[in-house]
A and B are shown apart, each in its own frame.
Chain A
């Protein structure tokens, strides 16, 4: 553990990512403290006489949106939404993916083949379209959005865990455990799963970049988080008609998304280099 940290510290980009992630998480947790205004409060002077949003000013640091709400506050609270969904979705995806990959890789035989064929099948669907389909079928809610994203993202993790589980199962200490009389459950729990921790850790970080991006896209399409709950994606969705006259409404939230995804990507990539150099460069 400590060695990993030491190695990670040397990677400047990864450290930058870590710092940024921590900052954003901090802001999200203490949104009440950081946000200058209530994100749903519509200000009278937040709109021009013609009813258009107001640009960045002393009072509204990042300007206002189409309903006269302070953009900065909405972005800060939006961090909460995007992070929560990103983390939950990724967590569920890792749970499903690891379970499927583990069982398929350890049990092999028919169970393994069936599970992996199913995984391959799900991979044939383009992620976004599948997410859109699922989101359209189920009633909208924050939890559903997170679940939908998880259902789309678990396949990649399952594949990776599957190949790794097979490799680990063939190592001699697993054979030794069998010869001691360990049950399959015990072997999975005590011998195989611990070896998978580095991989899972890497996916826990990299995966959040993907889930955050997917949530933003879904919300931008109008099918993710629904207004008035602010999410970076739906802020852009709501204000897209103003993008020519009030481009900050698109680019400030956009930059926030970019920053968060980039930070997790840098951190995750650095972690991967440190923990498992063989996986370098994979998509």
Chain B
């Protein structure tokens, strides 16, 4: 399988109204996604995962770093070329209520990608729209209605229809089921899985919900305060978490089989993103932090077993691995 997406050293800083004070939402993130796989990005609210998703799609301009998609370096593209590239990478947003234009008919919403990129003619577009709405599990008569006439789950199906109609290669789903009822969540997740197989899609799935991530991802990246602290294959990460933060996250998830690990309650609150702690940003809350954690920032490196990439001094002691 080839590398569909390669992100290198992506950072994003936001300027605030106070002169000179910036918030670093995403710090120096690098990752790769292989075609046909699903990368799950998980973390608490405010860790920067949504920002990362938007950076990859170039909905936000990165402060630093490069993104290569399907062999093309996105930074080098002109506005027009970038718009054309967008055919291949799509997004499904978190809030199905606000990501649909309330004044557009469903047919127009789903057909819009085709109109924008001038695919086929009116007749072929109409046909494609009809096929797609059926594929996501809604009926043809939905096409003539407006977004407010549908439930959350149905609207999300419409969003998915809009995202897949151009048969993209990559879909970034930003908390696509977080706003939905639990019973509907599994329906949508199943739909996404089916579509992945049928259309040979690659997903980046962003969520704060560990069970959902576990269910759907091939690889998982854990984010904390704008950085990736651990990245591994899904099975490996959930069976054998390395980073203290990952362990704490996992211990908080109720297990259906009743086997609960010792619950690790994290000390303190999430730090103010304006004042990211020195050294390892997790060290103030880390139950096993040592002295060096407060002064030296750990790098994301493979652990000794080679299965997971972790940024932690305890897993990858600085003297041995170096920086």
A-side residues, CB < 8 A to B, are 171-173, 175-183, 186, 190-191, 194-195
- Decide yes or no whether B224 CB sits under 8 A from chain A: no
A186: chain B residues within 8 A (beta carbon): 116
A181's contact among B95, B104, B113, B162, by CB below 8 Å, is which? B113
A179 B100 Cβ-Cβ under 8 A? no
Per the 8 Å Cβ criterion, residues 95-132 of B in contact with A are 95, 98-104, 112-113, 116-117
B113 A191 Cβ-Cβ under 8 A? no
- Closest chain A residue, CB of each to CB of B117: A181
Q: Chain A interface: which of B11-19, B79-87, B228-236, B296-304? A: B79-87
| 19 cross-chain CB contacts under 8 A | A172-B98, A172-B99, A173-B101, A175-B99, A176-B99, A176-B100, A177-B112, A178-B59, A179-B57, A179-B86, A180-B90, A180-B113, A180-B116, A181-B85, A181-B117, A182-B112, A190-B104, A191-B101, A195-B103
9 closest A-B pairs by beta carbon, nearest first, are: A181-B86, A172-B98, A181-B83, A172-B99, A173-B101, A179-B91, A176-B99, A194-B103, A180-B113
Interface size on B, residues (CB 8 A): 24
Q: How far is the CA of A177 from the CA of B111 in the complex (A)?
A: 12
Q: How far is the CA of A190 from the CA of B113 in the complex (A)?
A: 13
- Decide yes or no whether B93 CB sits under 8 A from chain A: yes
Per the 8 Å Cβ criterion, residues 33-57 of B in contact with A are 57
A175 B83 Cβ-Cβ under 8 A? no
Q: How far is the CA of A173 from the CA of B99 in the complex (A)?
A: 4
B116 A181 Cβ-Cβ under 8 A? yes
A173: chain B residues within 8 A (beta carbon): 98-102
B162 A180 Cβ-Cβ under 8 A? yes
B104: chain A residues within 8 A (beta carbon): 190
A190: chain B residues within 8 A (beta carbon): 101, 104, 112
B95: chain A residues within 8 A (beta carbon): 172
B162: chain A residues within 8 A (beta carbon): 176, 180
Within the complex, what minimum Cβ distance (angstroms) separates A260 from chain B? Answer: 32
Q: How far is the CA of A176 from the CA of B104 in the complex (A)?
A: 13
A180 B100 Cβ-Cβ under 8 A? no
Within the complex, what minimum Cβ distance (angstroms) separates B167 from chain A? Answer: 14
